[in-house]
Amino acid sequence: MKTSDSPILKSIRDDLQSFSSLENPQGFLPDFFDWVVREWSLRPFYATEIVNYGYDLTHYPQKTDYLLREKSKTYRDFIHANNGHHYVNFLPDHGTSCATMEKNLYEFFHESMRVRALAFLEENYPEMEAEVFWNQIFCEDFTRREDLLICEEINEKFGFYGLSAEPYLCSYHPEDGERGFYFDHWELKDFRAALKSYKNNGGKISPSERKRYQIILKALSPNALKKPLSQNGAIA
């Protein structure tokens, strides 16, 4: 009888949890900085056109001659900006809605977790087919209950729209207070400085940048923040 895969699954879950942690400056954080700088610097700015057909409101992305960096001054503006795509919305009186850069970040986060997991498996379990095993996790291709429960946890945290990506967003959850507002007031120059610090120090966050980052985390922690901030959708 095949033995349980739960030890391997748990090791993947624990490694991804550490790698994705906002408090780990050697994990996903530098990749996140790089993604933000690249997307914020080069993407075009899309306005949101609203058309009233009498029975619903349809939202369309409208490309402009501006770049996103010219219109989005803070990370909150950037991550909630129109990404140029729209989708069918089943809310009352809505036809389609415009997607925001949040969706792009969720996709980038999930792919980053996949690449990390494959590298982890190849290093620690070289006898396994890393890609096949990773795909099995998301197909729940296991029979033991303990294995399935861990797969479900990995899926929820690191799959598409994974919960572990939320600290990198500006999502407001009333039940959780102010969690998730770590970067909302950062400007593009702040991300560039953090990324430059990382690259100039051989893939490590410099002591000064680490201290600055820790101060920001402390200042913007859920317990430190008092005034609720509103969440806006795509920039019109």
Mean pLDDT is lowest, of 21-25, 117-121, 165-169, 179-183, for 179-183
Mean pLDDT of 218-230: 37
Give the whole-angstrom CA distance, residue 152 versus residue 148. Answer: 6
Q: What is the pLDDT of residue 226?
A: 34
Confidence grade of residue 92 (pLDDT, cut at 50, 70, 90): low
Mean pLDDT of 134-141: 87
pLDDT at 225 over 50: no
Confidence grade of residue 19 (pLDDT, cut at 50, 70, 90): very high
Q: Per the structure block, which two tokens stand in for 186?
A: 């950062």
* DSSP state string for 145-186: HHHHHHHHHHHHHHSTT-GGGGGGS----GGGTTTT-SSTT-
Give the whole-angstrom CA distance, residue 77 versus residue 176. Answer: 22
Give the Cβ contact number of residue 60 at 10 Å.
Answer: 16
Please tell me which of 47-51, 116-120, 176-180 the model is most confident about, judged by mean pLDDT.
Answer: 116-120
Q: Which residues pair with 96 in a beta bridge?
A: 88
- pLDDT tens digits along 35-48: 999 999 999 998 88
Q: Per the structure block, which two tokens stand in for 159?
A: 């799959």
Rg (CA), the chain: 20
Mean pLDDT of 74-90: 85
Q: Is the pTM higher than 0.85?
A: no
Mean pLDDT of 10-22: 96
Mean pLDDT of 66-84: 93
Give the Cβ contact number of residue 120 at 10 Å.
Answer: 18
Give the whole-angstrom CA distance, residue 81 versus residue 226. Answer: 25
pLDDT at 169 over 60: yes
pLDDT at 91 over 90: no
Instruction: Give the three-state DSSP class for 62.
Output: strand
Q: What is the pLDDT of residue 59?
A: 73
Residue found by looking up tokens 């959780």 in the block:
176
Q: Per the structure block, which two tokens stand in for 158?
A: 């690191």
